[in-house]
Amino acid sequence: MAKELQLFSFLPNVKKFENELLSLNDETVNYGLRLSQKEVKDLIEVRNEALKDSGRIEFGLGAVERIITCFCDSPYISQDSYALIIGELTEMFYNAKTETLDSVSDDELLRFMKEAFDGPCAGSTELLRSRELDAFIRACRFHVYGIKGSYDNNSEYTKTKGEVKFDE
Amino acid sequence: MNDVRRYDPLDEVTLGEKDYVASLFSAAYEMGLVTDGELDVFQGRLLELLSYVTFKYTKGESSSVMEDVAKRFADSSLYLIGLKLRTVESRSDALDLLLHSNLTSLYEDGVTIASKLLADCKKQFNSIVKAFVTGGNEALSSSLKGTIKLYLQKYSRAVKFFAHEVPTIIEYDLYHPIENYEGIEFINDYLLRLSLENSFLKLFDGNDLLMLFRAFDKEYKDLLFNLFEVTLRNAVCAVLLGKPAGTLIIDEDDAERLRDIIEDIDEGEIYNAASSLLLGLDCENNVIKAYILSDAERLVGSIKRTGAVVSKKAEECGEIRIKLLPKMDDDRFSLLLEELEDCGCKAEFVKNEFRSFWDIYDVLSGEYLSTDEVYEYFDLLQVIELSSLFAFCKENELSSLIEDYLDERGDVRSINVRKYSHSIKFI
């Protein structure tokens, strides 16, 4: 039999991704935000590292694009911090996907992150990561493991019927 | 017109059924039929396909999945594409499809083929479980009715994402293990082979099989071993000993002789013995024949290494306890005798209507049936029933009638009847 050939690798098509991210500037420029060529390259590198660290594979640019379009209207993001914050949010996003055991959809997670970032975190990625997302992840995991209730009493978040929300 | 087939350089290499796409690509790449550029393009298209599969799996709710899941998608997709490509007559055409046609439609075609195989497997599964000889073996029962049944139930969803996977644990090993297939093809082949092995077991007397398995190990029900192999080995050894085909029970005296016989035996002799066995069993199933005879070397090794399973002599086997039923009341007995006189099929009537040995003895010794009809009645009885009757009638004229019958039949069943009759104890 012929020797085995590596038929596929999950390596992304960087050039294609760069062009897709650069094209988003047309939309974000309305909020005074744009990514330079170098920032786009760095962001793709951050995204690839984040995927690797969280043990995930993504076929396409999916999440980064959605993070940009979701967060570009945030009052806490300025041009100076834009690339850095998107990079941090990307890391948090993939990490949370894995840590929640894939129990939340991309949209659900993004909605939560945006509300927390613009709300109680007041634009602090550190608070978002260490306080809000941490609690959110624990709430999701308890829900997945069917221990709902034991955590809810002390939690700011509950996950009911597939929807994670702030406690009233 | 002559059937001229186009020369296909890819025909010169062996491609695995497993990893068919990868091995086809490798062969084509080594022959220079695929360039690096084409390989890059293919990889890009494969990623698009995986993106499509991921979208279907997550129902569009997540753009990323865990690495191990993505790897399973990739293996499954290539397996399904391989299923489709293996239906293409020429390998060059298959390669052409791979390089130039839509991978999603190849994948979907593969899903259709796998789904058809699943339907076939379900049919086959149902026909196998209907009449299956497990001898009470737990590994066999749980493999079939647990693991495989569950796999078949879940495969209709798994086919789109994890089509190449097989159950992680199928406890019961086959005589010829499956090496070439994965996914539903593996299960299809497993069921086919299991069915063949079972058809072979059915050629033997059920009581003999149980005695053999018990002699193999008292705890045989909880033991992981191949029923077919143990049966085949003893059946072939019995033929080597000159016993009638179908004999499974080999006692210590036989074992002594067998040791001398198999010391210098070669593959040809084992092959001949196995052939005689199949002939003697009236086995006309060519697939079973091929299954057994295709690897005489293995059979020789197995027999030389392990010999036969040796049973204790019947009289040492412990007793078989049979409860004696009371004689029916005289009025009922007389009524049935009247009916018997007018009955067309007397043997069957006796079998169905008379249960107590006392009554049977009275009927058979009362000359209500001719000798042929009595023999016909004996033919209808199971080994253990006739053995019990034989034991019940010891030392009277019916005993000599049964003796004559057994002498005339002179088959494995007759040997077993004599053997078991020594172990019967009435309670």
Q: Which of A3, A4, A7, A49 is the best residue to mutate to test the B interface, defined by the most B CB atoms within 10 Å of its own CB?
A: A7
ipTM of this complex prediction, to 2 decimal places = 0.82
**Same domain (yes/no): B333, B300:** no
Q: CB pairs below 8 Å between A and B: how many?
A: 88
Interchain pair B25, A97: CB under 8 A: no
Residue B312 has pLDDT above 80, yes or no: no
A-contacting residues of B 369-398, CB under 8 Å?
A: none
Same domain, B5 and B39: yes
Asked if the C-beta of B29 comes within 8 angstroms of chain A's C-beta atoms, the answer is yes
Identify the closest residue of chain A to B72 by CA–CA distance: A57
What pLDDT is recorded for position B215? 87
Return residues 39-68 of B near A (CB < 8 Å): 39, 42-44, 46-48, 50-51, 54, 58, 61-68
Residues 6+ positions from B50 with CB-CB distance below 8 Å: A8, A59, B70, B73, B74, B77
Q: What letter does residue B356 receive in the DSSP assignment?
A: S
Residue B218: its pLDDT value, please?
Answer: 82
With respect to residue B198, please indicate whether it lies within any of the assigned structural domains: no
Q: Which of B76-80, B85-89, B333-337, B391-395 has the lowest mean pLDDT?
A: B391-395
Residue B327 maps to a domain: yes
The region of weakest confidence among B378-382, B407-411, B415-419, B422-426 is B422-426
Among B179-188, B255-264, B357-366, B416-425, top mean pLDDT goes to B179-188
Query: Does residue B84 belong to any structural domain of this protein?
Result: yes
Q: Give the residue with greater pLDDT, B43 vs A89.
A: A89
B214 and B264 together in one domain:
yes
Q: Specify whether B83 is located in the same domain as B19.
A: yes
Domain boundaries, chain A: 14-166
Burial class (CB in 10 A: 0-12, 13-18, 19+), B16: middle
In angstroms, rounded to a whole number, what is the distance separating the alpha carbons of residues B118 and B218? 38
User: How many distinct structural domains can be found in chain B?
Assistant: 3
Cβ contacts of B11 on chain A, cutoff 8 Å: none
Most confident of A101-115, B21-35, B337-351: A101-115
Query: For B215-265, how does the pLDDT look when each residue is reduced to its tens digit (9 = 90+)?
Result: 888 888 888 899 999 999 999 999 999 988 888 988 888 888 888 888 878
Mean pLDDT by 10 residues, chain A (168 residues): 51 78 95 96 94 90 91 96 97 96 93 95 96 92 59 46 43
The answer to whether the CB of B176 falls within 8 A of the CB of B291 is yes
Q: How far apart are CA B17 and CA B86, in angstroms?
A: 8
Which of residues B295, B312, B329 is at a domain's end? B312
Coil, strand or helix at B320:
strand
Cross-strand pairs, B424: B320
Same domain flag for B416 and B308: no
- Pairing verdict, β B424-426 and A157-160: unpaired
Q: CA–CA distance from B331 to each of B75, B338, B342, B364 (Å)?
A: 76, 11, 18, 18
Distance CA B364, CA A80 (A): 109
Report the C-alpha gap between B117 and B110 in whole angstroms. Answer: 11
Nearest alpha carbon to residue A97 among A45, A149, A62? A62
By the 8 A CB rule, do B317 and B267 touch?
Answer: no
- Under 8 Å between Cβ of B258 and B241: yes
B17 DSSP 8-state letter: S
Residues B31 and B166 in one domain: yes
Rounded distance between C-alpha atoms, residue B184 and residue B172, angstroms: 17
Q: Mind listing the pLDDT tens digit for each residue in B254-271?
A: 888 888 888 878 888 888
pLDDT at B383 > cutoff 90: no
Residues of chain B with C-beta less than 8 angstroms from the C-beta of A4: 19, 22-23, 26
Whole-number Cα distances in Å, A124 to A34, A78, A85, B152: 20, 13, 9, 51
* Residues B146 and B252 both lie in one domain: no
Q: Which chain A residues are closer than 8 Å to B98 by Cβ?
A: none
By CA distance, what is B28's nearest residue in A? Answer: A2
Give the residue from A59, A91, A92 with the most B CB atoms within 10 Å of its CB, the best one to mutate. A59
pLDDT, one tens digit per residue, over B110-152 is 999 999 999 999 999 998 888 787 778 888 888 888 899 999 9
pTM: 0.72
Residues B95 and B235 in one domain: no
Residue A156: its pLDDT value, please? 52
For chain A, positions 1-30, list CB contacts with chain B under 8 A: 1-5, 7-10, 13
In a 3-state reduction of DSSP, which class is residue B427?
coil
Considering CB atoms only, which of B21, B61, B64 is closest to A56?
A: B64
Same domain, B288 and B236: yes
Domain extent, residue B225, equals 203-312
* Nearest-CB residue to A60 (from B16, B63, B67): B63
A38 to chain B, any CB pair closer than 8 A? The answer is no
A108-A111-A112 Cα angle (round to 5):
85
One domain, residues B332 and B292: no
Residue count of chain B: 427
* Average model confidence (pLDDT) across chain B: 86
Q: What is the DSSP string of chain A?
A: -PPP---------HHHHHHHHHHTHHHHGGGT----HHHHHHHHHHHHHHHHHTTEEESSSHHHHHHHHHHTT-TT--HHHHHHHHHHHHHHHHHHHHHTTT-S-HHHHHHHHHHHHHTTTTT-HHHIIIIIIHHHHHHHHHHHTT-TTTTGGG-SEEEETTEEEE--
**A102 in B contact zone (CB under 8 Å):** yes
pLDDT at B171: 85
Q: B186 lies in a domain? A: no
pLDDT band at B410 (very low <50, low <70, confident <90, very high): confident
- Tell which of B129, B151, B171 closes a domain: B171
C-beta separation of A69 from A86 below 8 A = no
Contact at CB, B42 and A57, closer than 8 angstroms = no
- Average pLDDT on B153-171 reads 89
Question: Which positions ≥6 away from B395 have C-beta within 8 Å?
Answer: none
Residue type, B345: C
Confidence class for position B423, pLDDT limits 50, 70, 90: confident
- Look at residue B109 and tell me whether its pLDDT is greater than 70: yes
Cβ atoms of B171 and B147 closer than 8 Å? yes
Shared domain check, B418 and B370: yes
pLDDT value at position A9? 59
Q: What is the pLDDT of residue B103?
A: 94
Residue B110: the pLDDT is 96
Position B63 in a domain: yes
Q: Based on the domain organization, do B218 and B296 belong to the same domain?
A: yes
Which residues on chain A are in Cβ contact (under 8 Å) with B39? 5
What are the chain B neighbours of A2 within 8 Å (beta carbons)? 13, 15, 23, 26-27, 29-30
Is the CB of A8 less than 8 angstroms away from the CB of B46? yes
Per-residue confidence (pLDDT) for residue B35, from 0 to 100 = 86
Question: Do A8 and B22 lie within an 8 Å CB cutoff?
Answer: no
- pLDDT > 90: percent of chain B: 27
| Most confidently modeled range among A71-80, B31-40, B168-177 | A71-80
Q: How far apart are CA A54 and CA A96, in angstroms?
A: 9
A94 at B interface, C-beta within 8 A = yes
Q: How is B210-272 classified by DSSP, letter by letter?
A: HHHHHHH-TTGGG----HHHHHHHHHHHHHHTTPPTT---B-HHHHHHHHHHHHS--HHHHHH
